[in-house]
Amino acid sequence: MDYLDNPEFDINELLEETGQRQQQRLEKELERIEQQLEERDEIHREIVDELESKLSWYTDRLESLYKQRTGKTGERQELKNQISSFYRQLREEKQQHWHDKQKLEQERRELLRKLEEASDTELFDEFLSL
């Protein structure tokens, strides 16, 4: 059956429904990205808090060993290595968070651009139908 031959077929209505579905899909995708941004920020905060807590504990322990002035050179070196490792992990986490956030923000900007285009198209179509 050819839809164009059907007298009840309204191309404008079909285009409007298609545009609305596209806009809803884009808005849903935008919500998903914003949720991912929030979740990534929360995960980042948890990881950073945990690493900073460990850094604090190991630093305090190292200071305590230095105050004892005993021959625990091996233990001191081990603590220094752990502290260096935590600083490295902290830097890596911050870099990874920045990259993740940039990628999600780029996707977000692209979706906003598409939503704006869809809105402009809808306004143009309304203008033409006048």
pLDDT per position as a tens digit, 9-40 = 677 777 778 878 888 998 999 999 999 999 99
pLDDT the model gives residue 1: 46
Please give the single-letter amino acid code of residue 74.
Answer: G
pLDDT the model gives residue 105: 95
Please give the model's pTM, rounded to 2 decimal places. Answer: 0.71
Give the total residue count for the chain: 130
Long-range CB pairs of 18-23, under 8 A, 24+ apart, other chains included: 19/118, 19/121, 19/122, 19/125, 22/118, 23/115, 23/118, 23/119, 23/122
Section 47-59 average pLDDT? 97
Q: H or E segment at 51?
A: helix 11-68
Per residue in 71-130, pLDDT (tens digit) is 678 889 999 999 999 999 999 999 999 999 999 999 999 999 988 887 776 666 666 665
Annotated domain spans of the chain: 16-128
